[in-house]
């Protein structure tokens, strides 16, 4: 793995020499983030890791500010959100940034995950890197769910009611667990307080796991669009300035999309019912989660049995943990797997379809379609991926990543961006 | 291995394992207050029972009262609703348990679901994922859950999933002919 060893840091002045002798912190960061050898052929799909890091920082900074003006109490929570929107200087900006930032965070993470699926980034030796990533995704989902209760609107209240009720499906102890989670017989002040506390805690735990994710990445190195492992130092460039600038440019484009939502349609991704204060005696006509949970909601509702529905919904994420061992093909990148490439795009459309079904009422054709799509979702992981490895004839792999860098052979096969 | 080795190692091992076990048990026990504090506190648990006056509720009318933070449906059933509810065969139901806290273990016949045939009292929380069913909607004019489409009859029994259980009948008693106490 000596290819992955970035040039070490050499202190140039008296202060850094003094510091490095006592606490070699620059020497720790420098080879990991400045000179770290990165494949020369990464395309724009690979910029989302950096974008996600920025998303996390935006959420943490805006969240800390919001908590200075928010009151986690059933009598004041809803009003304190309006107070933030109307009275606090730039409160509207910071709240919309936090709310839409969550959507942008999930948009980026979905692109990041599907990039990993397309290029087979989860395969040996990056299985653990992938698993840590799935854990991060789960922690993001938990954080988003906890945070959604805080505005104390109708969707907040009923979303939390439905999701805490998942646990009542557990045989024998289910109801006791639900009461324990809520701290009451229904969602109430105790629930709001603990959700606020945990919503504040989890992002910092995410930061910790992100450190593990990056650490793991730096041990095995980046994957790349060809899926061929690096062989020579010449196939790499130092992370800075090459990828700091490439990631930076992608970030600017991404932030333009963010700004479009933030300034021109800040409520389009939210639900209007959440501007009605929580009422424990009235259920909204349709309880729908935020868009980023819709595919899983569709899977939940597709199953007519309560316990099975909850189990299958959790299994739809759980299956990602064993993905590195389900895919039997030794070839990583879909660029050299003609059949997998088609199945990949079918899978993308199935996920989008499930998202659409999650937003629709669970009846008639919608219900039939969500059942079909749910079956296909698992069919992809449990049948297509294991079997395809045996039947597919991959296209010949290049000897190294260099043809894709020099654009001689393999043009148009590998990627659009690099 | 010589005998002295065995005894020496055995004694050390015992002390080592015993000390470690004590520490582990102590640590696990000290976690309990931190787990238990999340359960409903005394204030939440002390929520008193509610007394409801049935006098103003007309035949065919359904009201919702709040008990322990949960909605409770009280329906003054029409003779037709009673008749239809009584004619349903228990075997045809998704959930054959009465789910009546006053009659634990009874079967789900309409007689076991109500104390007085004119009045149905049931916790208004869908047994699927906790939404509040809408009164007067769905087949048989019972309840329809707007979230995932479960249908309940005028006896609060589930007729169509995904809900797995009948609406829960809370503990209640008739204090007089026109007053009930829930809880």
Q: For A184, which of B69, B131, B147 is closest by C-beta distance?
A: B69
Q: Which residues of A touch B68 (CB under 8 A)?
A: 185-186
Do B68 and A186 lie within an 8 Å CB cutoff? Answer: yes
If pLDDT is split at 50, 70 and 90, which confidence band does B7 have? low
Q: Which residues of A touch B131 (CB under 8 A)?
A: 158, 161-162, 283, 287
List residues of B whose CB lies inside 8 A of any A CB: 35, 38-41, 44, 47, 64, 66, 68-71, 127-132, 134, 146-149, 161-164
* Residue B90 confidence (pLDDT): 79
Structure-model confidence comparison of residues B62 and A291, the more confident one: A291
Shortest CA distance to B143 belongs to which of B64, B29, B68?
A: B64
Q: Across residues A314-335, what is the average pLDDT?
A: 96
Sign of the dihedral through C-alpha A135, A138, A143, A146: negative
* CATH architecture group of domain A42-289: Up-down Bundle (1.20)
Chain A residue with minimum CA distance to B36: A180
Flag whether residue A198 sits within 8 Å of chain B, measured between CB atoms.
Answer: no
- pLDDT at residue A112 above 70? yes
Q: How far is B150 from chain A (nearest CA, A)?
A: 10
Residue showing tokens 């309409």 = B110
User: Can you tell me the distance from the alpha carbon of B97 to that of B157, in angstroms, rounded to the nearest whole number?
Assistant: 9
Shortest CA distance to B74 belongs to which of B180, B166, B146?
A: B180
* Residue A44 confidence (pLDDT): 97
If pLDDT is split at 50, 70 and 90, which confidence band does A118 have? very high
Measured at the CA of B149, the angle between CA B69 and CA A156, to 5 degrees, comes to 45
- pLDDT at residue A3 above 90? no
Q: Is A193 helix (H, G, I), strand (E, B) or coil?
A: helix
If pLDDT is split at 50, 70 and 90, which confidence band does B48 have? low
Tokens of A142: 């938990």
User: Which range among A15-24, A299-308, B171-180 has the greatest average pLDDT?
Assistant: A15-24
* Residue A1 confidence (pLDDT): 46
Rounded to 5 degrees, φ, ψ at A216 are -60, -40
- Spatial strand order of the sheet with B62-67 comes to B62-67, B70-76, B119-123
Chain A residue with minimum CA distance to B35: A180
- pLDDT at residue A220 above 50? yes
- pLDDT at residue A348 above 60? yes
Q: Where are the domains of chain A?
A: 1-35, 42-289
Q: Is B36 helix (H, G, I), strand (E, B) or coil?
A: helix
* Residue A368 confidence (pLDDT): 94
* Residue A165 confidence (pLDDT): 87
Give the Å distances, CA to CA, from A132 to A72, A135, A227, A267.
32, 5, 20, 32
Flag whether residue A190 sits within 8 Å of chain B, measured between CB atoms.
Answer: yes
- pLDDT at residue B40 above 90? no
Q: For B149, which of A158, A180, A363 is closest by C-beta distance?
A: A363
Structure-model confidence comparison of residues B48 and A122, the more confident one: A122
Alpha-helical regions (H) of A150-284: 154-165, 174-182, 189-220, 244-264
Chain A residue with minimum CA distance to B94: A305
How does pLDDT run across A190-203, given as a tens digit for each residue? 999 999 999 999 99
Q: Is B105 helix (H, G, I), strand (E, B) or coil?
A: coil
* Residue B142 confidence (pLDDT): 84
* Cβ contact B74:B121 at 8 Å: yes
If pLDDT is split at 50, 70 and 90, which confidence band does B66 have? confident
* Residue A116 confidence (pLDDT): 97
* Total-model pTM: 0.86
Chain A residue with minimum CA distance to B160: A304
User: Can you tell me the distance from the alpha carbon of A5 to that of A219, in angstroms, rounded to the nearest whole number?
Assistant: 9
Q: What is the mean pLDDT of chain B?
A: 84
- pLDDT at residue B82 above 90? no
* Residue A410 confidence (pLDDT): 47
* Residue B138 confidence (pLDDT): 66
Tokens of B103: 């009659």
Do B44 and A183 lie within an 8 Å CB cutoff? Answer: yes
If pLDDT is split at 50, 70 and 90, which confidence band does B93 have? confident
How does pLDDT run across A5-52, given as a tens digit for each residue? 888 999 999 999 999 999 999 999 999 899 999 999 999 999 999 999
How does pLDDT run across A156-211, given as a tens digit for each residue? 999 999 889 888 888 889 989 999 999 988 899 999 999 999 999 999 999 999 99
Structure-model confidence comparison of residues A285 and A79, the more confident one: A79
Q: Which residues of A touch B47 (CB under 8 A)?
A: 185
Q: Which residues of A touch B35 (CB under 8 A)?
A: 180
Q: For B147, which of A287, A303, A306 is closest by C-beta distance?
A: A287
Shortest CA distance to A227 belongs to which of A46, A400, A391?
A: A400
Residue A373, Ramachandran bin (φ over 0: left; ψ between -120 and 50: alpha; else beta): alpha
Shortest CA distance to A202 belongs to which of A63, A54, A48?
A: A63
Tokens of A286: 């349709």
How does pLDDT run across B106-125, given as a tens digit for each residue? 888 888 888 888 888 999 98
Give the Å distances, CA to CA, from A171 to A186, A255, B38, B128.
19, 46, 21, 14
Do A194 and B146 lie within an 8 Å CB cutoff? Answer: no
User: Can you tell me the distance from the alpha carbon of A45 to that of A418, in angstroms, rounded to the nearest whole number?
Assistant: 9
How does pLDDT run across B121-169, given as a tens digit for each residue? 999 988 887 788 888 776 667 888 888 888 888 888 888 878 888 998 9
């Amino acid at each position: 793995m000596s290819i992955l060893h970035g040039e070490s840091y050499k202190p140039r002045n008296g202060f850094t020499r003094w510091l490095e002798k006592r606490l070699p912190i620059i020497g720790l960061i420098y080879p990991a983030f400045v000179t770290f050898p990165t494949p020369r052929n990464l395309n724009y799909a690979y910029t989302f890791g950096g974008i996600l890091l920025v998303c996390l920082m935006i959420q943490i900074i805006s969240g800390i500010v919001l908590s200075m003006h928010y009151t986690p109490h059933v009598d004041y929570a809803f009003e304190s959100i309006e107070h933030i929107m109307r009275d606090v200087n730039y409160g509207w900006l910071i709240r919309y940034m936090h709310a839409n930032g969550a959507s942008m965070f999930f948009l980026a993470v979905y692109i990041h995950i599907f990039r990993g699926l397309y290029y087979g980034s989860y395969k040996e030796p990056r299985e653990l890197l992938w698993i840590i990533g799935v854990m991060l995704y789960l922690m993001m989902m938990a954080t988003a769910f906890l945070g959604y209760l805080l505005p104390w609107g109708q969707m907040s209240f009923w979303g939390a009611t439905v999701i805490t009720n998942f646990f009542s499906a557990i045989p024998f102890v289910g109801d006791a667990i639900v009461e324990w989670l809520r701290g009451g017989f229904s969602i109430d002040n105790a629930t709001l307080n603990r959700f606020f506390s945990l919503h504040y805690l989890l992002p910092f735990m995410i930061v910790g796991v992100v450190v593990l994710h990056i650490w793991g990445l730096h041990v095995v190195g980046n994957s790349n669009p060809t899926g061929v492992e690096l062989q020579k130092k010449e196939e790499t460039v130092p992370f800075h300035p090459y990828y700091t600038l490439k990631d930076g440019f992608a970030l600017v484009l991404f932030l333009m999309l963010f700004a479009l939502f933030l300034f021109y349609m800040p409520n389009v991704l939210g639900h209007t019912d959440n501007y009605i204060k929580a009422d424990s005696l009235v259920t909204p006509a349709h309880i729908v989660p935020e868009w980023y949970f819709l595919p899983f909601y569709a899977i939940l509702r597709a199953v007519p049995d309560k316990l099975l529905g909850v189990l299958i919904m959790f299994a739809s994420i759980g299956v990602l943990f064993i993905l590195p061992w389900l895919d039997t093909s030794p070839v990583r990148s879909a660029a050299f797997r003609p059949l997998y490439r088609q199945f990949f795009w079918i899978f993308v459309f199935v996920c989008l379809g499930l998202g659409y079904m999650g937003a629709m009422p669970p009846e008639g054709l919608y219900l039939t379609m969500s059942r079909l799509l749910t079956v296909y979702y698992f069919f992809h992981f449990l049948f297509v991926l294991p079997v395809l490895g045996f039947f597919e004839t991959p296209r010949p792999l290049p000897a190294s990543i260099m043809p894709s860098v020099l654009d001689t052979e393999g043009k148009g096969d590998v990627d659009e961006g690099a | 291995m010589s005998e002295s080795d065995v005894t020496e190692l055995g004694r050390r091992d015992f002390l080592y394992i015993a000390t470690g076990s004590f520490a582990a048990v102590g640590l696990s026990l000290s976690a309990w207050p931190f787990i238990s504090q999340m359960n409903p506190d005394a204030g939440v648990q002390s929520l008193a029972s509610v007394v409801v006056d049935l006098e103003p509720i007309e035949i065919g009318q359904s009201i919702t009262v709040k008990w322990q933070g949960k909605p409770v449906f009280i329906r003054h059933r029409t003779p037709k609703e009673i008749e239809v509810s009584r004619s349903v065969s228990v075997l045809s139901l998704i959930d054959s348990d009465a789910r009546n806290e006053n009659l634990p273990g009874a079967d789900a016949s309409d007689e076991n679901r109500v104390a007085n045939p004119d009045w149905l009292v049931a916790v208004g929380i869908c047994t699927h994922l906790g939404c509040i069913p809408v009164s007067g909607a769905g087949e048989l004019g019972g309840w329809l859950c707007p979230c995932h489409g479960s249908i309940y009859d005028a006896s609060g029994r589930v007729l169509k999933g995904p809900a797995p259980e009948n609406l829960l009948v809370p503990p209640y008693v008739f204090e007089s002919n026109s007053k009930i106490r829930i809880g």
